[in-house]
DNA sequence: GCTGTTTTGGAGAGCCCTCTCTATTTAATT
DNA sequence: AATTAAATAGAGAGGGCTCTCCAAAACAGC
């Protein structure tokens, strides 16, 4: 017994992703999102209580999608910790290749999307995701027989940060990822882990 | 035969660096810079023709300072290309440790500071700096006996991008760099180069 | 067809930001 | 002391953005 929705929140989020990828988080204004979708600004506020709430959702939806595949790659097949690390590193690049606009968001940080001013529910989701990653990295470390803050950092570099940096190099210049990017990420991960 | 300057452009730039480091490039508004220095907004416009001109100067001053030391580290002492690469990687971290606020700027890209809308003179400076780096990396590649796009990328990762990523990991969370960061950058660089 | 509920559509208040314009101040020179 | 170049000081026009508010529209159930 109600008027049917005409814009669902996904459409607004998709537009927000596009805007952020093309011109940075600052370009994601409520007015710009509304215009991109062809909706009046009131309709955006019907779905998202505020600009911080929208930015939080854009960030979290993207990061959670990314993490889902990353956890799967890391845990997949029992081929030992080094193979798992390689698979995770490769996944970062493969996911970015499949969704370059979403990947462009990850190159920013939550702070650039206003974290700190988010609704508490969003802050909690961010903490939960962060915690899951932290735990997975700690387990990987243990499986590799490494310990200490320094080893933990080398592992994190290998399976997350360096692959993302490879993506950053190209996306920042507006280029596509080269065909060898996955292999470079995988090889770099093994090289860093082997450097122990 | 003139009234002596009361604010020099350096003070405005310093304030802009602080604002950008703390809240991102978007927070560097002409009004905020003026307020931070205690000057009226007109005085900022006396030194910088426009906001894009100010942002360009903030970025270029920082990057050029960074590059100066980086070239020195890379070219210093004739200890062979691998030692030079290591020194350059270490320098990235050491420079960031000494100037964490300036380093926070480098974690953004020129696009975040409005490149594309800069005055032509600034765009030219950016191109020149970029070209110097490109040339230095090509020479390093040659000295290492590497060639091809993929090798070039691995070298760039080793001596610039991975060290910056180590810095990013910590600065993004508001932490100081750990004491082992320089060594980690140097070791990572060698590991990546050796992975060839 | 009527009712009730949800959503759209759009105007506009209030705020901040960029940039302009016009005094006014200051000190070296004459 | 008068002159003059260079800089400060600050008000305000114009524009965009956030968010509010209310009337109009659309559909399910009776």
Q: Which residues in chain A touch residue B150, judged by CB atoms under 8 angstroms apart? A: 178, 180, 184
Give B107→chain A minimum CA distance, Å. 9
Rounded CA separation A15/B2 (Å): 54
Q: What is the mean pLDDT of chain A?
A: 95
Q: A50 pLDDT exceeds 60?
A: yes
Rounded CA separation A117/A94 (Å): 32
Overall average pLDDT of the A40-49 stretch: 95
Instruction: Of A28-37, A68-77, B111-120, give the lowest mean pLDDT range.
Output: A68-77
What is the number of CB-based contacts under 8 A between chain A and chain B?
A: 75
Rounded CA separation B74/B57 (Å): 25
Instruction: Of A89-93, A163-167, A191-195, B55-59, give the lowest mean pLDDT range.
Output: A191-195
At residue B196, the pLDDT reads 43
Rounded CA separation A73/A91 (Å): 7
Residue A40 CB in 7 A reach of strand C: yes
Rounded CA separation B92/B159 (Å): 8
Q: Which residues in chain B touch residue A154, judged by CB atoms under 8 angstroms apart? A: 184, 188
DSSP string, B3-50: PPPSS-HHHHHHHHHHHHHHH-GGG--HHHHHHHHT--HHHHHHH-SS
Rounded CA separation A115/A100 (Å): 23
Q: Are the C-beta atoms of residues B100 and B171 closer than 8 Å to each other?
A: yes
Name which of B187, B70, B195, B56 is nearest B135 in CA terms.
B70
CB contact under 8 A, A165 and B166: no
Overall average pLDDT of the A56-75 stretch: 97
Confidence category of residue A196, pLDDT binned at 50, 70, 90: very low
Name the residue closest to the C1' of D29 by its CA.
A1
Looking at domain B7-48, which CATH architecture does it have?
Answer: Orthogonal Bundle (1.10)
For the beta carbon of residue B13, count every other beta carbon within 10 angstroms.
18
What tokens were used for A119?
């609704």
At residue B79, the pLDDT reads 84
Residue A44 CB in 7 A reach of strand C: no
Distance in Å, residue A47 CA to nucleotide D29 C1': 26
Rounded CA separation B104/B122 (Å): 21
Q: What is the pLDDT of residues B151-194, one digit of tens each?
A: 999 999 999 999 999 999 999 999 999 999 999 999 999 999 98
Q: For chain A, give the percent of residues with pLDDT over 90.
A: 93
Nucleotide nearest residue A1, measured CA to C1': D28
CB contact under 8 A, B165 and A188: no
Q: What is the pLDDT of residues B75-89, one digit of tens each?
A: 986 789 999 999 999
At residue B77, the pLDDT reads 67
Instruction: Of A121-130, A162-171, B68-77, B164-173, give the lowest mean pLDDT range.
Output: B68-77
Q: For chain A, give the percent of residues with pLDDT over 70.
A: 98
- The SS3 call for residue A195 is coil
The more confidently predicted of residues B115 and B77 is B115
At residue B126, the pLDDT reads 98
Q: Are the C-beta atoms of residues B98 and B186 closer than 8 Å to each other?
A: no
Rounded CA separation A136/A142 (Å): 10
Residues of A with CB under 8 A from a CB of B: 24-26, 109, 111-112, 149-150, 153-154, 156-157, 161-162, 164-166, 168-169, 172, 178, 180, 184, 187-188, 190-192, 194-195
User: Which bases in strand C are touched by protein, i.e. have an atom under 7 Å from a CB?
Assistant: 3-12, 16-22, 25-29
Q: What is the pLDDT of residues A102-116, one digit of tens each?
A: 999 999 999 999 999
What tokens were used for A49?
């209580």
């Amino acid at each position: 017994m109600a008027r049917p929705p005409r814009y669902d929140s996904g459409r607004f989020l998709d537009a927000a992703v596009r805007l952020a990828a093309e011109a940075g988080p600052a370009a994601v204004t409520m007015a710009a999102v509304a215009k991109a979708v062809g909706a009046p600004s009131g309709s955006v506020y019907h779905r998202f209580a505020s600009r911080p709430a929208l930015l939080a959702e854009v960030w979290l939806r993207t990061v959670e999608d990314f993490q889902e595949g990353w956890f799967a790659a890391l845990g997949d097949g029992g081929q030992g910790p080094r193979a798992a690390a390689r698979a995770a590193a490769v996944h970062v690049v493969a996911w970015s290749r499949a969704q370059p606009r979403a990947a462009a968001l990850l190159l920013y940080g939550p702070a650039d999307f206003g974290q700190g001013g988010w609704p508490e529910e969003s802050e909690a989701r961010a903490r939960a995701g962060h915690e899951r990653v932290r735990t997975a990295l700690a387990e990987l470390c243990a499986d590799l027989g490494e310990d200490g803050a320094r080893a933990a950092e080398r592992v994190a570099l290998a399976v997350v940060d360096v692959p993302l940096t490879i993506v950053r190099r190209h996306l920042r210049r507006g280029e596509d990822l080269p065909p060898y990017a996955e292999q470079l990420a995988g090889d770099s991960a093994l090289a860093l882990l082997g450097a122990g």
